[in-house]
Amino acid sequence: MKTYKYIVVLLPLIILTGCWSKYEVQNMNYTTAVGIDYAEGQYTIYAQLLDFSTVAKLEGQQKAEQPPVWVGKGQGSSFTEAANDLYSTSQQRLNWGQVSAILFSERLMKERKVGEVLELINRYREIRYLAWLFSTRDPLDEILMATSFFRLSPKASILHNPEQNYRQHSILAPIRLQQFVLDSNEKAKSSYIPELSIRKDQWKENQKPRELLRFSGIQVYDQEHYYARMDIQDLSGLPWLNKHTIRLPLDLFSDKKLIAVLVAEKPKYDITPSVKYDKAYFDISVSVKAGVNELHADVTEQELTQMAQKEIERQIRKTFQTALEKNIDIYNLGESLFRKNPHEWKRIASGKQHFVLNEDSLQAISVNMDIVYPGRYKFKKEILAVP
């Protein structure tokens, strides 16, 4: 009986193999960002490695040196071959499970290689779809080498954590890989990738210029079709028709003189499509609340409200016109027609891009501005006409 008990106890120990395939944390390098380029039939992959011991910062502790950033470069005729080229000099196992940012070069998109890259990412289970997706026209390695303030880890930069900047200055909404894949597969919807660039002349550390990341525009890419690039200066109307907008500045001028600076919060909008004579038309209504940050002229609240409404309408129309010249449906107006009347959309949609817009598609724009916080100072009193 005792022999039987010993067998029962020892048998599982013999059968169980243990953690032979387990990898120790200290024996792996963790890729935190990936940049992908394509030129002359060759893929080039840039992998950013960070020392995770530098990511956490103890309270009151100031780092004496900038945390190290390693960027590796691999090349090959395919994405996998380029990754294998990286492995040849990786001193330890590369782990891709911590990738939080993916960067496409403009050349990669123009060569229509995004689909091949996405297919590989979909097959490779380590890289997650929650990574942020960006594009750039700058050298990929320079983007990946950019750091943040106060010797913080690059994890504190726009590349890895764009939401913090967006909450304060909602000009261009960051996009996750998952959302881009969903949008690019919609026939009636155009998708864009935010563009990053390096600015060298705005901030200094101890009188030395620092290279920092910024949003500089978008690259519009949809269903293996590259449309065009739009500069950040041409996208002033985009935040007003974006459900993710949180906080947006609005400068009001009169005869090139600054009158006031408002801060709008969480605008709401509605698009009403219609079809007449085989052409699509759209009416837009925007509702927004704002506070007054600066007031440089003696104006009434009604006058300031009217100025703000006209400026918002101007920005929306300007961005629409700039995008239309490049055959871009920047506000996804066609999607609203597809959702409400798919039969009409299918009848008038033209080309592989299912474009439904024309010069007169954007009709009435109604803006309702409510100034809820005038600041510490009162507006000029309105003079009521006596009947």
Please write the tens of the pLDDT for every residue from 86-122.
888 877 787 888 889 999 999 999 998 888 888 887 7
Alpha carbon distance 236, 66 (integer Å):
36
Domain annotation for the chain: domains and CATH numbers? 26-233 (no CATH), 235-380 (3.30.300.210)
Distance CA 154, CA 134 (A): 15
Q: 352 or 99: which carries more pLDDT confidence?
A: 99
Average pLDDT estimate for 57-62:
48
**Tokens 């060759």, located at residue:** 42
pLDDT given for residue 58 in this prediction: 44
pLDDT for 383 beyond 50: no
Q: What is the pLDDT of residue 129?
A: 83
For residue 52, the SS3 value is helix
Work out the pLDDT band at 189, boundaries 50, 70, 90: confident
Dihedral of CA atoms 356, 358, 360, 364 in degrees, nearest 10, equals 40
The answer to whether residue 211 scores a pLDDT higher than 60 is yes
Least confident of 23-37, 244-258, 268-282, 285-299: 23-37
How far is C-alpha 73 from the chain's CA centre? 25
Q: How is residue 71 written in tokens?
A: 């960027």
What is residue 282's predicted lDDT score, i.e. its pLDDT? 96
Q: 40: alpha, beta or left, given left = phi > 0 and alpha = psi -120 to 50? A: left
Instruction: Please write the tens of the pLDDT for every residue from 246-267.
Output: 999 999 999 889 999 999 999 9
**pLDDT computed for residue 27 by the predictor:** 59
Q: Which of 159-163, 273-277, 308-312, 380-384 has the lowest mean pLDDT?
A: 380-384
Side chain identity at 26, as an amino acid letter?
Q
pLDDT confidence tier of residue 298, bands split at 50, 70 and 90? confident
pLDDT at residue number 83:
85
Q: At what angle do helices 114-123 and 79-87 cross, to 10 degrees?
A: 60
Supply φ then ψ for residue 50, to 5 degrees.
-125, 150
Split at pLDDT 50, 70, 90, the class of 376 is low
CB-CB neighbours of 46 under 10 Å? 24
Please count the other Cβ atoms lying within 10 Å of the Cβ belonging to residue 246.
17
Residue in the block written with tokens 């507006």:
379
Residue 385's pLDDT band (cuts 50, 70, 90): very low
Between the CA of residue 313 and those of 41, 134, 141, 198, what are the distances in Å? 45, 29, 40, 31
Q: Which residue has the higher pLDDT, 356 or 60?
A: 356
CA–CA dist 97, 84 (Å, integer): 17
Q: Distance between terminal CA atoms of the chain?
A: 112
**Does the pLDDT at position 62 exceed 60?**
no
| Beta-bridge partners for 108 | none
Strands of the 257-276 sheet, one edge to the other: 247-254, 257-276, 279-295, 362-373
pLDDT at 38: 93
- Average pLDDT (19-30) is 59
In this predicted structure, the answer to whether residue 8 has a pLDDT above a threshold of 70 is no
Q: How far is CA 93 from the centre of its chain?
A: 30
Query: Is residue 360 predicted with pLDDT exceeding 70?
Result: yes
CA-closest candidate to residue 345, choices 275, 282, 284: 275
Identity of residue 272: T
Q: Which stretches within the chain are classed as H helix?
A: 2-15, 79-87, 106-110, 114-123, 140-145, 162-168, 177-184, 301-324, 333-340, 342-348
3-class DSSP state for residue 371? Answer: strand
Other CB atoms within a 10 A radius of the CB of residue 147 amount to: 20
Q: What is the pLDDT of residues 165-182, one digit of tens each?
A: 899 889 999 999 989 988
Reply yes or no on whether the pLDDT at 60 is more than 50.
no
Length of the chain (residues): 387
Q: Quick check: 13 pLDDT over 60?
A: no
Give the chain's mean pLDDT: 84
Residue 55: what are its φ and ψ, rounded to 5°?
Answer: -75, -45
Q: What is the pLDDT of residue 264?
A: 93
